[in-house]
Structure 1
């Protein structure tokens, strides 16, 4: 006779092994049809054992304990019970179980069908997946991933001292499941309901006393592409992905403008180029690539400048500064030199419903004046030049 008890990890771990060559079977009292079979070698296997409309009973193997948790086994058993109640046979239910996507397969679909076509930052999604998600979730079937599994990932990253990164990873997992629901690949989002870490608005930018060391480290940076990329990021305040994919065809040297057709806000942007930014770009001008900052990857342009950025910060002795803070640095120096919030918002292409109407009435002239003034002030604080003079940045050889 099959022994019955409420499956718990402690109870299952304490089960005695049957005699050599024998196998014991136990039945869960919480979910009908869920069995646990244990062999004399200690292998414990979950299965569903059901009789269909008075016929012979059939057994469907689910997985081994503890690789499959009790909750996962119960959830799969309930799915099979529901399929049988709908008139499907256990064999059909088993085929459905076997055809279920792994998370790695779902992420690949998400990347190719959603992230790459619609997000300029798709490489960041891939990086997050490989660094934080692939190992704990990649080989799991979707039904095996519950809120507890995702919460554990969020908690571990948070405990490692990266609360904001933990939130971003959680957001990506939720996005993958949300997209899967929208295209009919899955039915629920187990990431919903997990509490995010509190985030403070970041106000870090390069301070006056840091600018001399920062520009000195830039001058000593051996990789000219990284050096110029950082300079253009600082002098334009543009987002990282837009600077990385900057094309020569989008730059008008006569008008000192850079046209970005697609930004994060899904709106085009015309970026005014200061005289210093124009000089950096003219020194880089080349017919060898369509991109201002070429790279060796499939995209053809620079993808990940992080290592070079970390090298510059180490040389400058500056801590807690991110690439995105270069964007905030320009805006902060615009504010320091008297620019209005509307001017700053237009120059950085901020999307704010309360000020959209104001932005729409602004032309580039006051924006240009503000960017040029802020640029001159930054360089003067860095000890490189007097306001209004063009810095002779180190030229490419």
Structure 2
């Protein structure tokens, strides 16, 4: 390092340092404290570090950012690092040991900021945060290094008893992912304690509304006093869209003239255009006549739209005398109705926004959109089974006003 990069650190001297060229980093050495350096990025971020060789290997220990960390504080911290090295203690090893002793809650916060928010989509991060609040908060005060495989197994079984095996498996997957990152960062030299915990067996769900159930279900929708929620279930059933997408439907994404709805981003991370059958266009046209905001299904919560319509769903199922049916099963109902109407597998998958198959791309060059024919065939079968023959029947109760 040249003499130009070594000087006695003072506030005036550091503040006067020039910024390096774009994409570059400049390093300066303090002549007063051995190993203390200041690194500056082209964006102006200044960071104190200690650079020393330990057992012949270079180690760089980050101390803190200037000016939040003062020169005096940086020198004191650097002196502590130098003292550890003199006693044969590796700063990197000590840092890893300190990290292993941090509470799980502190690690979780670091994991979200340094890993999850950078690598994952906002929705995935939101689900991870919810998982921590609902299922992992019991580990919050535990030291990271004290969490064992037995702890993970016990938590897995406890969650399964509280909820279900599939839910417990999903929580375990989130925990294992975080612990794997902790191991990669050197915080858990002993390995990931959640790895190898046997998951509960999951059976693929194949529930959908059968032909004999559809008339009862449809009548229960018509009798539902909360028209916002009844309309939501109708749209979910007749579009086959995922619950989260229907709940967050915006008017700006709906074209009643073209009879289509563009979902900006689906679970697969891709946009999807959903053809709207006549019954849905009629229902949405009625809702549009009294709409005042951006959401098709407005709500009172902080999202601005409806969320988790559990109570209304239970009322509707009880009224219809139907058991073991979930909102997501409405999507499966449309898919099964398409299959019963003779729609091929590729078109069904593409219509419902599953992972696109290469062969399905050829449909883009045809004069007609097979997805519209598919969804009309499926929705038509549903309406016929429900005993509904006119689009107007979908909204007969809307005109009475909302409750």
| TM-score by shorter chain over 0.5 | yes
Within 1, Cα distance between the matches of 2:102 and 2:224?
46
Per the TM alignment, residue 190 of structure 1 is displaced from its structure 2 partner at its CA by 2.2
Asked if 2 retains the 8 angstrom alpha-carbon contact of 1:115 and 1:122, the reply is yes
Within 1, Cα distance between the matches of 2:174 and 2:340?
36
Please give the secondary structure, in 1, of the residue aligned with 2:363: coil
**Among 299, 313, 317, the residue aligned to 2:317:** 313
After superposition, give the CA deviation of every residue in 1:280-307 in whole Å (9 maximum; x if it has no partner): 2222225522121222333222232233
Asked if 2 retains the 8 angstrom alpha-carbon contact of 1:233 and 1:327, the reply is yes
Q: From the superposition, tell whether residues 85 and 321 of structure 1 become closer, same or farther in structure 2 (CA, over 3 Å).
A: farther
After superposition, give the CA deviation of every residue in 1:313-347 in whole Å (9 maximum; x if it has no partner): 22222211111111111100001111110110111
Please give the secondary structure, in 1, of the residue aligned with 2:262: strand
Asked if 2 retains the 8 angstrom alpha-carbon contact of 1:84 and 1:93, the reply is no
Count of residues in correspondence between the two structures = 306
The answer for the alignment partner of 1:382 in structure 2 is: 386
Alignment gaps of 5+ in structure 1: 1-82
1:278 aligns with 2:281: yes
Per the TM alignment, residue 160 of structure 1 is displaced from its structure 2 partner at its CA by 5.1
Asked if 1 retains the 8 angstrom alpha-carbon contact of 2:282 and 2:391, the reply is no
The answer for the alignment partner of 2:141 in structure 1 is: 139
Matches within 5 A, 1:325-344: 325-344=329-348
Per the TM alignment, residue 348 of structure 1 is displaced from its structure 2 partner at its CA by 0.6
The answer for the alignment partner of 1:104 in structure 2 is: 105
Alignment gaps of 5+ in structure 2: 1-84
The answer for the alignment partner of 1:169 in structure 2 is: 171
Please give the secondary structure, in 2, of the residue aligned with 1:270: strand
The answer for the alignment partner of 2:213 in structure 1 is: 210
Q: From the superposition, tell whether residues 392 and 189 of structure 1 become closer, same or farther in structure 2 (CA, over 3 Å).
A: same
1:322 aligns with 2:337: no
Asked if 2 retains the 8 angstrom alpha-carbon contact of 1:121 and 1:241, the reply is no
TM-score, with structure 2 as normaliser: 0.67
Within 1, Cα distance between the matches of 2:318 and 2:86?
63
Per the TM alignment, residue 84 of structure 1 is displaced from its structure 2 partner at its CA by 12
Please give the secondary structure, in 2, of the residue aligned with 1:322: coil
After superposition, give the CA deviation of every residue in 1:116-139 in whole Å (9 maximum; x if it has no partner): 9714365544443333322x3222
Q: From the superposition, tell whether residues 94 and 349 of structure 1 become closer, same or farther in structure 2 (CA, over 3 Å).
A: closer
Give the alignment's Cα RMSD to 1 decimal: 3.1
Matches within 5 A, 1:185-196: 188-196=191-199
Within 2, Cα distance between the matches of 1:118 and 1:214?
36
Q: Which deviates more, 223-232 or 104-113?
A: 104-113
